[in-house]
Amino acid sequence: MWHATVLTLFPEMFPGPLGISLAGRALASGLWGLDARDIRTAATDRHRSVDDTPAGGGPGMVLRADVLAAAIDAADISPDRPKLLMSPRGRPLTQSRVGELAAGPGPLIVCGRFEGIDQRVIDARELEEVSIGDYVLSGGEIAAMALIDACVRLLPGVMGKLASGTDESFSNGLLEYPQYTRPQVFEGRTVPDVLVSGDHAKIDVWRQNEAEALTRARRPDLWAAYQNRIDLARSRKSTTKG
Number of residues that bind ligand ADE (CB under 6 A): 12
Determine if 39 is a binding residue for ligand ADE (CB under 6 A).
Answer: no
- CA–CA separation, 121 vs 213, rounded Å? 45
Determine if 107 is a binding residue for ligand ADE (CB under 6 A).
Answer: no
Determine if 145 is a binding residue for ligand ADE (CB under 6 A).
Answer: no
Determine if 132 is a binding residue for ligand ADE (CB under 6 A).
Answer: yes
* CB closer to ligand ADE, 39 vs 214: 39
CB of 188: closest distance to ligand ADE in angstroms?
40
Determine if 173 is a binding residue for ligand ADE (CB under 6 A).
Answer: no
Out of 57, 59, 135, 237, which residue is the one contacting ligand ADE (CB under 6 A)?
135
Out of 133, 157, 192, 220, which residue is the one contacting ligand ADE (CB under 6 A)?
133
- For residue 22, count CB atoms less than 10 angstroms from its CB and return exposed for 0-12, middle for 13-18, buried for 19 or more: middle
Phi and psi based region of residue 127 (left: phi greater than 0; alpha: psi -120 to 50; beta: remaining): beta
Determine if 137 is a binding residue for ligand ADE (CB under 6 A).
Answer: yes
CA angle 24, 154, 166 (to 5 degrees): 130
- CA–CA separation, 12 vs 38, rounded Å? 9
Listed ranges 75-83, 85-93, 171-179, 218-226: which one lies at the site for ligand ADE (CB under 6 A)? 85-93
Determine if 116 is a binding residue for ligand ADE (CB under 6 A).
Answer: no
From the list 155, 104, 152, 156, the residue with the least C-alpha distance to 128 is 104
Out of 4, 23, 39, 87, which residue is the one contacting ligand ADE (CB under 6 A)?
87
Cβ burial 176-213 (10 Å sphere, 16+ → b, else e): bbeeeeeeeeeeeeeeeeebeeeeeeebeebbeebbbe
CB of 134: closest distance to ligand ADE in angstroms?
7
Out of 1, 55, 136, 185, which residue is the one contacting ligand ADE (CB under 6 A)?
136
* CB closer to ligand ADE, 45 vs 135: 135
Determine if 88 is a binding residue for ligand ADE (CB under 6 A).
Answer: yes
- For residue 151, count CB atoms less than 10 angstroms from its CB and return exposed for 0-12, middle for 13-18, buried for 19 or more: buried
Out of 6, 109, 143, 214, which residue is the one contacting ligand ADE (CB under 6 A)?
143
Q: What is the sign of the dihedral through the CA atoms of 94, 96, 102 and 105?
A: negative
Sequence-separated (6 or more) residues with CB below 8 Å from residue 218: 175
Residues that bind ligand ADE (CB under 6 A): 86-88, 112, 131-133, 135-137, 140, 143
